[in-house]
Amino acid sequence: MSVHLSNPNLPSASGDEREFPMSEQNFRELQQFARELTGISLSDQKQNMIYGRLARRIRALGLRDFDQYCALLGQHDSPETREFINAITTNLTAFFRENHHFEYLKNTWFPELLRSKEKDRRIRMWSAGCSTGEEPYSLAMVVKSIPALQNWDVKIIATDLDSTVLEKAQLGEYAVDRCVNIPPQYQKFVDTGVVRADVRGLVTFKQLNLLHPWPIKGPFDVIFCRNVVIYFDAPTQIKLFDRYADMLTPEGRLFIGHSENLHKISDRFVSLGRTIYRKIR
């Protein structure tokens, strides 16, 4: 992402209305920290959001301003790094979000795998950017709803950069109002906000920075990476989708977010429509 320090459209982050002074240079430093630590490209339009999230950290640490906070982040092996990463990552998610993806799995891809993998009876899935766990648990509910898969070796790996949301995900406990939109045929897998134990047992949660080496083994039949790459620049996206292709089985399926596409990003997939892609090489 190009940086123009004299950008006239950059919202002011200083002034009496702010609890902590935040200069334009502070924001540039925070953008640089975000790129280096996570690969996330924070646009200028994100400045107010970042101020709000990090002001809480400055308050909690008893610091005076963003100069002190940036200096703290710049220290080698700063313990604040983890809190910074957790603060800037966005964790919007829901059970069965973009439900057509789960319907495709149940009605099309899983039936194909039941035929093509009848010998080894093994299915592997990866939820990359799993947030608080609704996505991988939705995958697990679909698996549990298919009788023919019950004696198969099915495992779901769920990863996220944010350690705080992973702790919540592992519990499998949600406010009841977050479960009301689960389709009726899957409601039996959640009891007053608690995901059933046999569903949780299909999912393994791990912390993972997508830009670092991946200590997980493929190949995967399914990879969900939805509403994650929108925070990365194009060169990072190109590398990331190439790595995803390497981790997928031949013909493996990749699911991305509704606002994302692979045009000019990767030629290793063919679109099946509705942000579903098949690996072709």
Q: Per residue, what are the HEC states of 183-231?
A: CHHHHHHEECCEECHHHHCCEEEEECCCCCCCCCCCCEEEEEECCCHHH
The DSSP call for residue 172 is T
Q: What residues contact residue 100 under an 8 Å CB cut-off, 6+ apart?
A: 274
d(CA 25, CA 230): 24
Can 97 be counted among the known catalytic residues? no
Task: Map tokens 């679109």 to a residue.
Answer: 271
Query: Angle CA(49)–CA(54)–CA(60) in degrees, nearest 5?
Result: 145
- Burial (CB < 10 A; 0-12, 13-18, 19+), residue 133, is buried
Cis peptide before 219 (omega within 30 of 0): yes
d(CA 246, CA 9): 41
Query: Up-side HSE of residue 279: CA atoms within 13 Å toward CB?
Result: 20
Give the pair of three-digit tokens for residue 227: 């509403």
Give the pair of three-digit tokens for residue 221: 């039949």
d(CA 252, CA 202): 20
Can 160 be counted among the known catalytic residues? yes
Which residue among the candidates 18, 28, 35, 53 is catalytic per the annotation? 53
List the one residue out of 19, 18, 26, 17 whose CA is nearest residue 69.
26
Q: Which residues are catalytic?
A: 53, 160
